[in-house]
A and B are shown apart, each in its own frame.
Chain A
Amino acid sequence: MHPQEPESSSAPAAVLAPGHTFTTVTDQLSDMVLVRPYEGRWFLCLGVGFSLVMTLFTAAAYLLFQGVGVWGIDVPVMWGFAIVNFVWWIGIGHAGTLISAILLLLKQDWRTSINRFSEAMTLFAVACAGMSPLLHLGRPWLFYWLMPYPNTMGLWPQWRSPLVWDVFAVSTYGTVSVIFWYVGLIPDLATFRDRSKNRWAKMGYGVFALGWNGSAKHWHRYRTAYLILAGLATPLVVSVHSVVSLDFAVSVLPGWHTTVFPPYFVAGAIFSGFAMVVTLAIPFRAWYGLYDYITARHLDNMAKIILATSLMVGYGYFMEGFMAWYGSSSFEKFALLYNRPFGPYAHSWRMMVFCNVLAPQILWFKWARSNVGLLWVVSIIVNIGMWLERYVIVITSLHRDFLPSSWSMYHGTVWDYATYYGTLGFFFTLLILFIRFLPAISITEMRELVHKTQHGHGRTTEASPETGS
């Protein structure tokens, strides 16, 4: 694949290529931002991303001007792309917290080089996710009605509605993710402050480094805060997508009203989240030559998680069908055993099964997991498949409701697609800016990894010479 790529052998690859010291790690990772010149292809990426952001703005402005009728939604399918995209994006966001919180608590050292940009990816994905239902409100400027606050209407949100639970789940998740990401960044921002030559950059990083001086006290508090935040974030990995699934499961619609939804959605979220991390990590490490940090071991582990969660998702699909067959609801039988596999949206359903259940099975083979190009293609297939999963769930259950006279078909309009591609561009733009201006791989944790690989195991709270002031 690439000359620098370590050859796969029988022994598991290291999480950090051998031969690194504190200095080489710090130099390489901070030079990515502070020394590396601006490249044409970076501007090209930014330009492409920003054009799509402009598309998003145009679509949103037209939507606000005309109303939600510009989208394809109409009776009986009142949840279209907006909800599909919301669930898709929020699912993608799940890998960040899983990697940063759960794998931290489980002391998985292979998380360290991918956690920072997974967390950033989470934040940007949550931002994209939040946009969809807000635009779907029809009058988004009244979004604050979703919050309980003292008001002249004497009204309170409808606590029995899972859509209100959703608001709290997603906003909590967003807040905790931002804090977790920022706290993790502080020592690295101090490194940037100390190493940048430009006075304005020094001040910019300096303000956000909050006066970090690398003392033992600072490290102690930082470690404690980081662990507490990891503990707080851990239940969110499970809770957020469970609540999102309740948007569907609490209703009485065949195909939605299923007890398997919460665990099956959580598995799907981690599935799509890791797929997105792989989709981004592979070009990122090729672009910046980060083969020492994101090694074959990382890709292999992520591929295994994708395979495991693919099996869980497949089990979810199977259980939906099995329960419909085993149960006695003729509506559910129709929805799951006939309408999805053989109905008018059968192409989407079949494509979904191929993308989410069949295609990842190739990752059983070690040669497939170590073939970077193949892994990248599989991760993209999974991303597409998970979007289709939400499309199938939302559309097929709605378009054939209990009353055949109201049956209809749903198709996204050009504005639906513009909004969707726009959020992709928004996500991509933020990511491109993040890679350029912030440490996309945690320098602090890589130094710790150097320490661990040189001196065996055990946590370290030592400050590196770089961050003394």
Chain B
Amino acid sequence: MSQIFHPSANTLARTSIAVLVIGANLALGGLYGFSGSPYQTGVNVVRTQPVPFSHEHHIRGVGVDCRYCHNTVETSASAGLPPTYTCMSCHSQIWGATAMLEPVRSSLAENKPISWTRVHDMPDFVYFNHSIHVQKGVGCVSCHGQVDKMPLAWKAEPMTMAWCLNCHQHPEEHLRDKRDVTRMDLVLSSQEQLAKGRELVNENHIDSDRLINCSVCHR
């Protein structure tokens, strides 16, 4: 009887099996890599805005506090995006005529808010509240990164559930005194941070067992 397959079919068969196994692993690994990549999380992706607003200039250069514009961050779920009047409290006096600020002027003239591009978009099934985090001593920088070094804003952290839980399980690694919440330049050694964090966990009555209950964030 004549052979159906050339002897090379053996090599082909072995190679196919190897390719299948390796390929399946690569595909799964690739998917996992993709799920944590900037394409998926948006980390380090600079968003273009209608006005090229620079946090770096306003915080580091001018010395404006976060809460001057995000004025509801201590009392409500949303940190608050400033109305055009807030911009104009300075820009009616300085740099009022530059072309860069034209959208701000027209927003004021037409009484229409500037439509900023959202940088951090939490899913609707997450009930995130800024005020409780600020009140318990989570610094702005812990989640938003060094905003004072961002000419245009980007996401500094992936804001995945695993990332949220990481802090909810070990809040002492990130807590600071309330007066330091908006500070961008606070640097503590890990021992100092742990000591301070543990103290604040007690002082602010933070129960990390309760913090990882599903209903803390999903209601």
Contact residues of A with B, CB < 8 Å?
Answer: 149-155, 193-194, 199, 202-203, 206-207, 210-211, 469
Q: Which residues of B contact A207 (CB under 8 A)?
A: 13
Interface core residue of A153, A194, A206 (most chain B CB under 10 Å): A153
Closest to A153 in B: B161
- At the interface, yes or no: B160 with Cβ under 8 Å from chain A? yes
User: Cβ of B161 and Cβ of A211 under 8 Å apart?
Assistant: no
Distance of B42 from chain A, by nearest CB (Å):
13
Find A151's partner among B1, B9, B13, B35 (CB 8 Å cutoff). Answer: B35
Contact residues of B with A, CB < 8 Å?
Answer: 1, 3-5, 9-10, 13, 32, 35-36, 41, 158, 160-163, 165-166
Q: Which residues of B contact A150 (CB under 8 A)?
A: 32
Bound-state CA distance A150–B36 (Å) is 11
Check A155/B5 contact, CB under 8 A, given A150-B32, A210-B13: no
17 additional contacts (CB under 8 A) given A153-B162, A154-B160: A150-B32, A151-B35, A152-B41, A152-B160, A152-B163, A154-B165, A154-B166, A155-B162, A194-B1, A199-B4, A202-B4, A203-B4, A207-B13, A211-B5, A211-B9, A469-B1, A469-B3
Bound-state CA distance A101–B5 (Å) is 34
Find A206's partner among B4, B32, B36, B163 (CB 8 Å cutoff). Answer: B4
Q: Which residues of B contact A193 (CB under 8 A)?
A: 4
Distance of B188 from chain A, by nearest CB (Å):
25
Distance of A29 from chain B, by nearest CB (Å):
20
Check A152/B4 contact, CB under 8 A, given A210-B13, A211-B10, A211-B13: no
Q: Which residues of A contact B163 (CB under 8 A)?
A: 152, 154
Check A153/B1 contact, CB under 8 A, given A210-B13, A211-B10, A211-B13: no
Find B5's partner among A152, A153, A206 (CB 8 Å cutoff). Answer: A206
Find A155's partner among B13, B36, B161 (CB 8 Å cutoff). Answer: B161
Q: Which residues of A contact B1 (CB under 8 A)?
A: 194, 469
Bound-state CA distance A202–B162 (Å) is 53
Q: Which residues of B contact A202 (CB under 8 A)?
A: 4
Q: Which residues of A contact B158 (CB under 8 A)?
A: 152
Q: Which residues of B contact A152 (CB under 8 A)?
A: 35-36, 41, 158, 160-163
Bound-state CA distance A434–B158 (Å) is 50
Q: Which residues of B contact A155 (CB under 8 A)?
A: 161-162
Distance of A305 from chain B, by nearest CB (Å):
39
Bound-state CA distance A223–B174 (Å) is 61
Check A151/B162 contact, CB under 8 A, given A194-B1, A203-B4: yes
Distance of A328 from chain B, by nearest CB (Å):
36
Closest to A202 in B: B4
Distance of A252 from chain B, by nearest CB (Å):
21
Q: Which residues of A contact B13 (CB under 8 A)?
A: 207, 210-211
User: Cβ of A154 and Cβ of B162 under 8 Å apart?
Assistant: yes
Bound-state CA distance A33–B42 (Å) is 57
Q: Which residues of B contact A211 (CB under 8 A)?
A: 5, 9-10, 13
Check A154/B10 contact, CB under 8 A, given A206-B4, A469-B1: no
Q: Which residues of B contact A154 (CB under 8 A)?
A: 160-163, 165-166
Q: Which residues of A contact B165 (CB under 8 A)?
A: 154
Closest to A194 in B: B1
Q: Which residues of A contact B35 (CB under 8 A)?
A: 151-152
Distance of A44 from chain B, by nearest CB (Å):
34
Closest to A203 in B: B4
Distance of B31 from chain A, by nearest CB (Å):
10
Q: Which residues of B contact A203 (CB under 8 A)?
A: 4-5
Bound-state CA distance A207–B32 (Å) is 33
Bound-state CA distance A193–B5 (Å) is 11
Bound-state CA distance A150–B165 (Å) is 14
Distance of A158 from chain B, by nearest CB (Å):
11
A-B contact pairs, 30 of them (CB 8 A): A149-B32, A151-B162, A152-B35, A152-B36, A152-B41, A152-B160, A152-B161, A152-B162, A152-B163, A153-B160, A153-B162, A154-B160, A154-B161, A154-B162, A154-B163, A155-B161, A155-B162, A193-B4, A194-B1, A202-B4, A203-B4, A203-B5, A206-B4, A206-B5, A207-B13, A210-B13, A211-B5, A211-B9, A469-B1, A469-B3
Closest to B12 in A: A207
Bound-state CA distance A150–B161 (Å) is 12
Q: Which residues of A contact B5 (CB under 8 A)?
A: 203, 206, 211
Closest to A155 in B: B161
Q: Which residues of A contact B166 (CB under 8 A)?
A: 154
Closest to B3 in A: A469
Distance of B207 from chain A, by nearest CB (Å):
19
Q: Which residues of B contact A210 (CB under 8 A)?
A: 13
Distance of A190 from chain B, by nearest CB (Å):
11
Closest to A207 in B: B13
Q: Which residues of B contact A151 (CB under 8 A)?
A: 35, 162
Distance of A204 from chain B, by nearest CB (Å):
10
Closest to A152 in B: B160
Bound-state CA distance A207–B160 (Å) is 45
Bound-state CA distance A194–B3 (Å) is 10
Distance of B131 from chain A, by nearest CB (Å):
24
Q: Which residues of A contact B41 (CB under 8 A)?
A: 152
Q: Which residues of B contact A149 (CB under 8 A)?
A: 32
Bound-state CA distance A154–B158 (Å) is 13
Bound-state CA distance A249–B160 (Å) is 36
